Chain A
Amino acid sequence: MMVRIFTALIAMMMTATLAVTSAGAQQGPLRIEITEGVIEPLPFATPNFVAENGNSAEMGAQLARVVAADLQGTGLFREIPASAYISNISDFGAAIQYPDWKAINAQALVTGAVTVSGNNLSVKFRLYDIFSGAELGDGLQFQGTTEGWRRMAHKVADAVYSRITGETGYFDSRVVFVSETGPKNKRKKRLAVMDYDGAGVKYLTDSSALVLAPRFSPTGDRVLYTSYETGFPRIYVLDVGSVQRRVLENTQGSMSFAPRFAPNGQTVVYSQATGSNTDIYTIDVSSGRSKRLTSAPSIETAPSFSPDGNRIVFESDRSGAQQLYIMPAGGGEAQRISFGQGRYGTPVWSPRGDLIAFTKQSKGRFHIGVMRVDGSEERLLTASFFDEGPTWSPNGRVIMFHRETQGASSRSTLYSVDITGRNLRPVRTPEGGSDPSWSPLQK
């Protein structure tokens, strides 16, 4: 029942209609008010997870906070604070007092229980549809170490989110990005990785060499990036666990940049500048064998594979200004897909295969936008002095990018936005942040 409400909600947001969801198949007073295209987020409660042994009360509270922040952070849910609770959850197995939760307008209730023993952590949760007066889906249990507590909270939130929206979640994921400090003319950059919500930042390189645009592999175990450590931009692959790196392309007289993995995790598509010209190539990560895919005298760069691996979207200035094109993954005739006024760059194919995100520059402003794969239904999601470099959440519903402010004291900040253009919010990083790349959902 709740899934159908949310599917309707999201469909409405996508088409920005002003209709009110009909009460239709639901029972009771459950209703979503939509006025002027503003969606009312679904109110929910997440009491502290019940400590089922002595050491776990603080862990129970921390888990609930992360779950609540994940859900509220989507802009689709609104947490009802504990100060409003009439009932409390002190026994994970006890019956829910539905009228008490109904009375404070909680439509969804997430309860949990936690056991900590030594380094071992066990987390259980249940999700209740208050207005139906029943559990929604089965309770689940996660086992792991205390060190992985955040991931378990994210997995609970992913389960709740997916049961209510009908979509897969995206909270148990990481983002690799460039962490930067210093003024624009003396900027120091190094690679960093963190949980999608900004927790657990770990640095992968130092700032002794200029590093740019890291991208996760399809399984999240490696990162491709561009580094100037040889004095020239070259593409590298780095293993996230061991932090070992090696250069992938080192041709004298050429430069390489803008690498991305194919879905097979073996082929890397990238851009190579030789002489005056920049074209798209692929290279096999194991054999080092490379293949040239484009040969026009124009600039071809910023390639991105489709999730089925069959096609590549890229930017080219062959028409006189940067536009987006799609060609077969082995090279060949390219179809132009962008036709609006302005310049289009940094195209990235959604993991769902349905949309391409891009950076658009028009009339002195920068935008993050999306369009269908055939170029239709172009929508601009943001506008500012400078926005660049979209990356997709694992479920293709949220985009992260970076935004730079104007002028001498410019700073770069990561932001995320829903693909409906709603819920634009900064992602906090210890220093300035740019060039984010979102990992797949972790297993």
Chain B
Amino acid sequence: MKLTTKMVLMVAAVSMAACTNADRFGADDGAGAFDPNASANAGIIAGSASDPTSTAYFQQAVGDRVLFEVDQSSLTAGGRTTLDGQATWLLTNADYTAIVEGHADEQGTREYNIALGNRRADAARSYLLSKGVPSLRLQIVSYGKERPIEICSEESCYSKNRRAVTVLAGGLTG
């Protein structure tokens, strides 16, 4: 977590500097000239997964989801680690709000799965709150079994569907 924070600060510092530092990031060898269309940090494109303030970075580098065991809404150790990263990111990037979506696999009845998805979303949200994320920035919703990611009828798919996904809203680079 500390490393991430350092990275964020370093990048922030660099982005303040003039683009004459472009060579340090290995992009554009020889060009050197100021290109107003390129990001000040050549090699870090605003909004992409290399931009640590972006949604894409949150989704891919931090990890936007935690998974659950069958019928369970308790967080796994790996889930808590992912949420630690999410909390840090959210505290650093304070102009984002988020909604935590809870989901269930198809092995159950419709209403119960909405309630179970709700438990999962709430478990993730409560953990983020416990790490200091203000409650006003986090909502929850449950989709029950209605929005599977994987559609095979096997545990390899079910396990990916039993999830709580933190979906960002707001921010400058969408």
Asked if B111 and A213 make an inter-chain contact with CB atoms under 8 angstroms apart, the answer reads: yes
Asked if A408 and B152 make an inter-chain contact with CB atoms under 8 angstroms apart, the answer reads: yes
Asked if A410 and B151 make an inter-chain contact with CB atoms under 8 angstroms apart, the answer reads: yes
Bound Cα distance from A187 to B147, whole angstroms: 8
The answer, yes or no, to whether A339 is at the interface (CB within 8 Å) is no
The answer, yes or no, to whether A393 is at the interface (CB within 8 Å) is no
Bound Cα distance from A389 to B111, whole angstroms: 10
- Give the contacts of A254-306 with B (CB-CB under 8 A): 255, 257-258, 271, 273, 275-276, 278, 299, 301-302
- Give the contacts of B104-118 with A (CB-CB under 8 A): 106-112, 114-116, 118
CB-CB under 8 A from B71, the residues of chain A are 321
Asked if A302 and B142 make an inter-chain contact with CB atoms under 8 angstroms apart, the answer reads: no
Asked if B141 and A361 make an inter-chain contact with CB atoms under 8 angstroms apart, the answer reads: no
B141, chain A: closest CB distance, angstroms: 5
Additional 12 contacts, C-beta under 8 A, given A273-B142, A389-B109: A184-B148, A271-B114, A276-B122, A278-B119, A302-B109, A317-B112, A361-B107, A388-B110, A406-B153, A407-B151, A407-B153, A410-B151
Assuming A301-B112, A346-B111, is B147 touching A233 (CB within 8 A)? no
CB-CB under 8 A from A322, the residues of chain B are 109, 112
The answer, yes or no, to whether B149 is at the interface (CB within 8 Å) is yes
Closest to B122 in A: A276
CB-CB under 8 A from A271, the residues of chain B are 111, 114-115
Closest to A279 in B: B115
Asked if A212 and B146 make an inter-chain contact with CB atoms under 8 angstroms apart, the answer reads: yes
A140, chain B: closest CB distance, angstroms: 42
Closest to A358 in B: B109
A225, chain B: closest CB distance, angstroms: 12
24 contacts between A and B (CB under 8 A): A184-B151, A185-B147, A185-B149, A185-B151, A210-B143, A213-B110, A232-B141, A257-B114, A258-B114, A273-B118, A273-B142, A275-B122, A276-B118, A276-B122, A315-B111, A317-B112, A321-B71, A322-B112, A343-B108, A345-B108, A345-B111, A346-B111, A388-B109, A408-B152
A430, chain B: closest CB distance, angstroms: 21
The answer, yes or no, to whether B48 is at the interface (CB within 8 Å) is no
Cβ contacts B97-133/A at 8 Å (1 or 0 each): 0000000001111111011101100110010000000
The answer, yes or no, to whether A385 is at the interface (CB within 8 Å) is yes
CB-CB under 8 A from A70, the residues of chain B are none
CB-CB under 8 A from A217, the residues of chain B are none
- B residues within 8 Å of A by Cβ? 71, 73, 106-112, 114-116, 118-119, 122-123, 126, 139, 141-143, 146-153
Bound Cα distance from A386 to B110, whole angstroms: 12
Cβ contacts A301-342/B at 8 Å (1 or 0 each): 110000000000001010001100000000000000000000
Assuming A184-B151, A406-B153, A407-B153, is B112 touching A276 (CB within 8 A)? no
A181, chain B: closest CB distance, angstroms: 14
A439, chain B: closest CB distance, angstroms: 20
Bound Cα distance from A278 to B118, whole angstroms: 8
Nearest first, the 7 A-B pairs at minimum CB distance are A345-B109, A278-B115, A276-B122, A184-B151, A273-B118, A299-B115, A258-B111
Asked if A299 and B119 make an inter-chain contact with CB atoms under 8 angstroms apart, the answer reads: yes
Bound Cα distance from A302 to B71, whole angstroms: 17
B152, chain A: closest CB distance, angstroms: 5
A402, chain B: closest CB distance, angstroms: 10
B100, chain A: closest CB distance, angstroms: 12
A426, chain B: closest CB distance, angstroms: 20
Inter-chain CB contacts under 8 Å: number: 96
Bound Cα distance from A233 to B141, whole angstroms: 8
CB-CB under 8 A from A404, the residues of chain B are 106
Asked if B115 and A273 make an inter-chain contact with CB atoms under 8 angstroms apart, the answer reads: yes
- Give the contacts of A45-63 with B (CB-CB under 8 A): none
Bound Cα distance from A404 to B110, whole angstroms: 13
Asked if B110 and A299 make an inter-chain contact with CB atoms under 8 angstroms apart, the answer reads: no
Asked if B142 and A233 make an inter-chain contact with CB atoms under 8 angstroms apart, the answer reads: yes
Assuming A185-B147, A271-B115, A301-B111, is B153 touching A410 (CB within 8 A)? yes
CB-CB under 8 A from A255, the residues of chain B are 114, 118, 141-142
Bound Cα distance from A231 to B142, whole angstroms: 10
The answer, yes or no, to whether A359 is at the interface (CB within 8 Å) is yes
The answer, yes or no, to whether A81 is at the interface (CB within 8 Å) is no
B57, chain A: closest CB distance, angstroms: 25
Bound Cα distance from A275 to B73, whole angstroms: 13
Asked if B109 and A346 make an inter-chain contact with CB atoms under 8 angstroms apart, the answer reads: yes
Closest to A270 in B: B111
CB-CB under 8 A from B143, the residues of chain A are 210, 228
B164, chain A: closest CB distance, angstroms: 12
Bound Cα distance from A228 to B107, whole angstroms: 22
Bound Cα distance from A278 to B117, whole angstroms: 11
A377, chain B: closest CB distance, angstroms: 22
CB-CB under 8 A from A317, the residues of chain B are 112
Closest to A210 in B: B146
Asked if B122 and A359 make an inter-chain contact with CB atoms under 8 angstroms apart, the answer reads: no
CB-CB under 8 A from A253, the residues of chain B are 139
B126, chain A: closest CB distance, angstroms: 7
Bound Cα distance from A322 to B36, whole angstroms: 61
Bound Cα distance from A185 to B148, whole angstroms: 5
CB-CB under 8 A from A302, the residues of chain B are 109, 111-112
The answer, yes or no, to whether A133 is at the interface (CB within 8 Å) is no
Q: Which of B106, B112, B139, B151 has a CB less than 8 Å from the CB of A299? A: B112
CB-CB under 8 A from A184, the residues of chain B are 106, 148, 151
B30, chain A: closest CB distance, angstroms: 46
Closest to B126 in A: A276
Assuming A212-B146, A255-B141, A276-B119, is B151 touching A183 (CB within 8 A)? yes
